[in-house]
Amino acid sequence: MDWRGIVCPRNYLGSLIRALLLITILFFLVYGSLEQRCKEPGTNKKDIAIREFLSKGESFQRRSGDIQLPVEHVKNVTVVTAFFSLGNFIKGTLLRREDFYQQNAGKIAMVRNPLIFYTNSPEIAQQITFFRRSYQPSLQTDVIIMNINDSWAFGLRPRIQAIFNQDGYPKYHPQTINANYSVAMHAKYEVMADAIKSGRVRTTHVCWMDFGIWRNEEGEGFEVGIPNDVIDGQVAYTEIEANSNPTPRNIVYLDMVWVVGAFFIGRVEAVQTFCTDYRRGVHWMIKHFLMSTDQQVIYTLYSKHFKLNPRVHIQTYRAPPEFSHSPWYYLAYRCRRALH
Ligand SMILES: *[C@@H]1O[C@H](CO)[C@@H](O)[C@H](O)[C@H]1NC(C)=O
Ligand SMILES: *[C@@H]1O[C@H](CO)[C@@H](O)[C@H](O)[C@H]1NC(C)=O
Ligand SMILES: *[C@@H]1O[C@H](CO)[C@@H](O)[C@H](O)[C@H]1NC(C)=O
């Protein structure tokens, strides 16, 4: 199928999107003020549940907004993350210039969980090892230096760049422009699968954490726990919008997001199967001349238009209204427990 044949002229699409955006904003302005007036605060079931939830158990302070979330103290979780040095600046959380690395390396290294870290840079590998020896000397730390020339994800770069270079392809910076950014997102699922397959993960659960996820966070160390409502056999993500089963093309062309790629957690076996299905999603999209980030791949996999039927359910966590300052990281904060 020739996807290029059905692309709208770019400026027509642009004004359509602008008009839709304006309508959406107006809707939320009007609806928001109505809702505020009509709402009896704290009497519906959801509010009560949230209040109870906020008042019990372990909690931590978040800098912006001071919201407290309880975190169950079950701690059998390995953290997997990565940083790829490509010597260039790309907006995003996994792949930036070195100062981004410098700001975040210490924060990640403080995590009081087993840590598996992938990088293509021997210098960065050495620094992370040093940080871990200083902060968490008694915990498992596996630092893996990978050659991105041998990587499945990085090997897709020429094909993805060709997709991005199609006439009329949408221009969302950087996810539909810079193939390095896109492949670094796919690499998450490659290194996660490798961490599990190699036997380095020795816990019941495993989580992925984007390298820069705690960049606005201050404080000493923290640990990652498993919320007690995490469902066995599923992979949990933060949900941003309900899955409306859009077409794969709309997901990419309108930059739609269902769940957030920065953090996910699940039982090891479920995550492993999920990573295999993820690859199938990437190859399906490439075959159909579509690509963007892991968020669009996952949406495509779990939209009913996809014919490969992913085997693992995604459990979604949606931020309550009290957490509206940082809804994209809600599940990450549910799992985070500060140490004092
Ligand atoms: C992508 O990464 C490679 C290094 O692997 C680098 O040489 C190249 O300049 C990067 N491309 C862009 C567009 O950033
Ligand atoms: C990766 O491949 C490029 C081009 O073939 C080569 O110049 C470079 O040295 C390789 N890098 C490593 C780390 O093997
Ligand atoms: C954590 O999980 C591993 C692997 O299943 C198990 O051997 C270990 O006993 C668990 N540890 C705790 C504290 O539950």
pLDDT tens for each residue of the chain, 340 residues long: 333 333 334 455 555 555 555 444 444 443 333 333 333 333 333 333 333 333 222 233 333 333 444 544 457 999 999 998 876 555 544 445 566 677 788 888 999 999 999 999 898 899 999 999 999 999 999 999 999 999 999 999 999 999 999 999 999 988 888 899 899 999 999 999 999 999 999 999 999 999 888 887 877 788 999 988 899 999 999 999 999 999 999 999 999 999 999 999 999 999 999 999 999 999 999 999 999 999 999 999 999 987 779 999 999 999 999 998 899 999 999 998 865 4
Residue nearest to atom 3 of ligand 1 (CA): 86
Q: What is the pLDDT of residue 107?
A: 87
Please state whether beta strands 259-267 and 205-209 pair in parallel, antiparallel, or not at all (unpaired).
antiparallel
Distance 73 CA to ligand 1 centre (A): 42
What fold does the segment set 44-338 form as a domain? Spore Coat Polysaccharide Biosynthesis Protein SpsA; Chain A (3.90.550)
What is the C-alpha end-to-end distance of the chain, expressed in Å? 58
Q: Give the integer Cα–Cα distance in Å for 59 and 61.
A: 7
* Best of 75, 76, 196, 267 for a ligand 3 pocket test (most atoms within 8 Å of beta carbon): 76
Instruction: Tell me which residue has tokens 């040095």.
Output: 85
DSSP β-bridge partners for residue 145:
119
Q: What is the pLDDT of residue 176?
A: 87
Q: What is the pLDDT of residue 93?
A: 45
Domain segments of the chain as ranges: 12-41, 44-338
Distance 301 CA to ligand 1 centre (A): 28
Over the Cα atoms of the chain, what is R_g? 21
- Ligand 1 neighbours (beta carbon < 6 A): 86, 88, 178, 180
Residue nearest to atom 11 of ligand 2 (CA): 149
Instruction: State if residue 150 touches ligand 2 by the CB under 6 angstroms criterion.
Output: no
* Best of 120, 145, 149 for a ligand 2 pocket test (most atoms within 8 Å of beta carbon): 149
Distance 315 CA to ligand 1 centre (A): 35
Q: What is the pLDDT of residue 220?
A: 73
Phi/psi for 316 (5° steps) reads: -105, 140
**Ligand 3 atom closest to Cα of residue 75:** 13
Distance 12 CA to ligand 3 centre (A): 56
Instruction: State if residue 147 touches ligand 2 by the CB under 6 angstroms criterion.
Output: yes
Longest dimension (CA), the chain: 59
Rounded to 5°, the CA angle 172-265-156 comes to 40
Ligand nearest to the CA of 76: 3
